[in-house]
């Protein structure tokens, strides 16, 4: 199977504010089978303790830019899962 022939990729996931409290983590490294999307990383987060309390479609940013859950991940990406914004 060509898809699993590629080595797993590693992304750094950042959690903030209420989500950091929920998971008890500010950041975590995830190793994902290729090809991987933001949605796949979110599935892995949900398996962590407290991860079931994340909303169905949290706001996400990849390398400092807002993205949809179907955005593809590359090795070394920084994925941020953002609670409801409250600036301003």
Partner 1 sequence: MGYLTTSPIDLPELVARVQSPVRGGIASFLGTVRNHHGGRAVARLEYSAYGPMVEAECARIVAEAQSRWKVAVVLEHRIGVLQIGDTAVAVVAASPHRDEAFVACRYVIEEVKRRVPIWKREVYADGSVEWVGAAAGGAAAQQGGEQQVTADFGEATS
Beta carbon nearer to partner 1, 7 or 24: 24
Contacts by 80-87 with C-beta closer than 8 Å and gap 24+?
A: 80/13, 80/14, 80/15, 80/16, 81/13, 81/14, 81/15, 81/16, 81/19, 81/42, 81/45, 81/54, 82/16, 82/19, 82/58, 83/16, 83/17, 83/18, 83/19, 83/58, 83/59, 84/59, 85/59
- Positions that interact with partner 1 (CB under 8 A): 14, 16-18, 21, 55-61, 64-68, 80, 82-88
| Nearest-approach distance from CB 58 to partner 1, in angstroms | 7
| Nearest-approach distance from CB 23 to partner 1, in angstroms | 13
Beta carbon nearer to partner 1, 6 or 17: 17
| Nearest-approach distance from CB 36 to partner 1, in angstroms | 18
Beta carbon nearer to partner 1, 35 or 55: 55
């Amino acid at each position: 199977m060509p898809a699993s022939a590629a080595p797993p990729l590693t992304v750094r996931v950042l959690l903030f504010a209420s989500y950091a409290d929920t998971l008890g983590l500010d950041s975590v490294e995830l190793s994902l089978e290729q090809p991987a999307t933001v949605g796949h990383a979110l599935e892995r987060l949900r398996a962590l303790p407290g991860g079931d309390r994340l909303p169905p479609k949290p706001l996400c940013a990849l390398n400092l830019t807002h993205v949809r859950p179907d955005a593809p991940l590359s090795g070394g990406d920084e994925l941020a899962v953002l609670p409801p914004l409250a600036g301003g």
